[in-house]
């Protein structure tokens, strides 16, 4: 390898060390820091991340990327490094186009907006948040124009979270899913609801933790390359493929939510733990496409975890670990975890109505960036769409438009990736069954790790080096389509609800 390449690698490795320390600080802050440790931690974190940012936007970095992009040097790189250099150059050029003053102003606006959103949600007063939301919309659009000049603003935002996806594709798949789901949901809501009174009991928290560990291990999470922690909101954090951590939230009133959070975050973590080792510490070493990432967590959580066959080989073990389930049969458990309700809150929605919660947000984002609908009209628009799709009107804005934090920090274009993940999942079912036979059977025989191995091989090992459209084409052999997931929903819920 050339001298310039060796120096470049060394420079990246040094930056990675700073990043590693920041990641650890963040994990500690979220999981175990004492309250008064906050200032020391956040000062250190701010220092380290500023240093990292400086290094990644430095003249020196620009010089490395320029030289390595020149034909002779570039041709000498293997395909992974070609991807990494191209990706880093693209990000470097995008960052360089953002004026430093604007960037600073944006960070300040984000923080203020976050505080205002929290207050507005607490007091159920949209007017507290409205001026900040307006500012975030304006500044985020400006940011997109700096980063991707010439591209439609909303498409640029969508691309930030799922590269290669545009609103035309989203429109096509979301509309076909919506058209198929609305009549199905109406039939489900007209059917007899499941009586869940048996589930309202007190659950032992240490048992919930034992169940979490058991489930993570069962689906293929490696405890040699990861560990668990506790936080208010579950998340996954990765250093590199050798250290991927998941957190969970436990409570006496509900033992099922932590199970599905464990399976969901476990899906994210299994992805990261299985990225090829040679990509560790590079721009390809972690999956940066949110739709693709979510397709893994939701595949484990919903497609596998809400299938009765997933539980058949292990339900007795779950009852042993969490004895409160002794009086609940597997069939009752299965009905409970697949109950469909038209509820207000996205994060606690079932897999069917969840899709519509995301579609509401996607359609509103389009109204904001394409039709410039004034911020003051957004709460009413939200409620109108909830009424139209889910037949329920939020009694307060806190349970309506103010429920999620995403828009407060300018994460427009983020929500659609959640649903895109589900749509990919439908497509994986077909591809997996072609190779491994019926998923029901694989699960019933307790061979879920065969599916994990398949996902490792087909998707995980590539990290970010394959774009989502390339993954879908390579794995499923066709362009993205909502038809398979719709078929899955129809078959599953027709049976569950006797439609
Ligand atoms: Zn997730």
Residue 2: pLDDT band (50, 70, 90) is confident
pLDDT recorded at residue 177: 98
Q: State in Å: Cα 346 to ligand 1 middle.
A: 13
The pLDDT of residue 1 is above 80: no
Per annotation, catalytic residue among 163, 265, 272, 351: 265
CA distances from 115 to 58, 105, 412 (A): 32, 16, 18
Q: State in Å: Cα 478 to ligand 1 middle.
A: 25
Average pLDDT value for the chain:
96
Instruction: Give long-range contacts, CB 8 A cutoff, 24+ apart: 6-11.
Output: 7/64, 8/64, 8/68, 11/55, 11/60, 11/61, 11/64
pLDDT recorded at residue 195: 93
Q: State in Å: Cα 413 to ligand 1 middle.
A: 15
Mean pLDDT of 326-333: 97
pLDDT recorded at residue 42: 87
pLDDT recorded at residue 100: 87
Helices 167-190, 153-161: inter-axial angle, 10-degree rounding: 70
Task: List, in order, residues 6 or more apart from 203 with CB less than 8 Å away.
Answer: 251, 252, 253, 254, 255, 322, 324
Query: Has 331 been annotated as catalytic?
Result: no
pLDDT recorded at residue 94: 93
Instruction: Give tens-digit pLDDT for 394-446.
Output: 999 999 999 999 999 999 999 999 999 999 999 999 999 999 999 999 999 99
Tokens of 379: 């709460």
pLDDT recorded at residue 294: 98
The b/e string for 337-376 (b: 16+ C-beta within 10 A; e otherwise) is bbbbbbebebeebbbbbbbbbbbbbbbbbbebbeeeeebe
Q: State in Å: Cα 294 to ligand 1 middle.
A: 5
Q: What does pTM read for this prediction?
A: 0.95
The pLDDT of residue 365 is above 80: yes
Q: State in Å: Cα 296 to ligand 1 middle.
A: 8
pLDDT recorded at residue 310: 98
Mean pLDDT of 190-197: 94
pLDDT recorded at residue 179: 98
Instruction: Give tens-digit pLDDT for 450-462.
Output: 999 999 999 999 9
Residue that has been written with the tokens 């079912």 in this structure: 429
Helix (H) or strand (E) holding 55: helix 38-56
Q: State in Å: Cα 265 to ligand 1 middle.
A: 6
Mean pLDDT of 254-265: 97
Mean pLDDT of 362-373: 97
Mean pLDDT of 213-230: 98
The pLDDT of residue 53 is above 90: no
Mean pLDDT of 378-397: 97
pLDDT recorded at residue 470: 95
Taking alpha carbons only, the member of 289, 272, 282 closest to residue 163 is 289
């Amino acid at each position: 390898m050339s001298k310039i390449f060796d120096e470049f690698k060394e420079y990246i490795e040094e930056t990675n060390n700073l990043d590693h320390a920041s990641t650890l600080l963040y994990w500690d802050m979220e999981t175990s820091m004492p309250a008064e440790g906050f200032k020391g931690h956040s000062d250190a974190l701010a220092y380290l991340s500023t240093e990292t940012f400086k290094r990644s936007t430095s003249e020196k970095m620009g010089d490395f990327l320029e030289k390595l992009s020149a034909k002779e040097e570039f041709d000498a790189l293997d395909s992974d490094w070609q991807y990494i250099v191209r990706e880093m150059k693209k990000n470097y050029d995008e960052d360089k186009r953002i004026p430093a003053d604007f960037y600073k102003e944006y960070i300040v606006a984000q923080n203020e907006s976050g505080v205002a959103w929290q207050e507005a949600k607490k007091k159920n007063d949209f007017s507290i948040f409205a001026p900040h939301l307006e500012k975030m919309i304006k500044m985020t659009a400006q940011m997109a124009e700096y980063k991707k000049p010439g591209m439609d603003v909303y498409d640029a935002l969508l691309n930030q979270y799922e590269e290669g996806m545009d609103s035309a594709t989203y429109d096509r798949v979301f509309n076909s899913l919506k058209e198929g789901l609305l009549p199905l949901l109406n039939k489900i809501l007209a059917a007899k609801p499941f009586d869940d009174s048996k589930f309202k009991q007190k659950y032992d928290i240490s048992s919930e933790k034992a169940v979490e560990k058991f489930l993570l291990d069962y689906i293929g999470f490696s405890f040699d390359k990861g560990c668990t922690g506790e936080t208010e909101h579950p998340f996954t954090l990765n250093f590199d493929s050798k250290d991927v951590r998941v957190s969970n939230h436990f409570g006496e009133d509900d033992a099922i939510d932590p199970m599905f959070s464990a399976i969901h975050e476990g899906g994210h973590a299994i992805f990261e733990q299985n990225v090829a080792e040679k990509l560790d510490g590079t721009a390809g070493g972690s999956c940066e496409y949110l739709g693709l990432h979510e397709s893994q967590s939701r595949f484990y959580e919903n497609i596998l975890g809400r299938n009765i066959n997933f539980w058949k080989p292990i339900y007795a073990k779950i009852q042993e670990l969490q004895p409160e389930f002794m009086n609940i049969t597997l069939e009752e458990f299965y009905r409970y975890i697949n109950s469909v309700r038209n509820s207000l809150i996205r994060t606690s929605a079932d897999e069917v109505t969840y899709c519509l919660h995301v579609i509401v947000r996607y359609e509103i984002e389009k109204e904001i960036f394409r039709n410039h609908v004034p911020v003051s009209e957004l709460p009413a628009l939200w409620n109108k769409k909830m009424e139209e799709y889910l037949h329920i009107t939020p009694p307060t804005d806190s349970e309506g438009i103010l429920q999620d934090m995403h828009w407060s920090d300018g994460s427009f274009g983020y929500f659609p990736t959640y649903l895109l993940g589900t749509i990919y999942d439908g497509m994986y079912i077909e591809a997996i069954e072609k190779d491994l036979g019926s998923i029901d059977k694989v699960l019933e025989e307790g061979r879920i790790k065969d599916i994990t191995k398949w996902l490792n091989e087909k998707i995980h090992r590539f990290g970010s080096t394959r774009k989502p459209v390339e993954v879908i084409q390579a794995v499923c052999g066709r362009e993205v389509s909502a038809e398979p997931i719709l078929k899955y929903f129809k078959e599953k819920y027709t049976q569950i609800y006797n439609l």
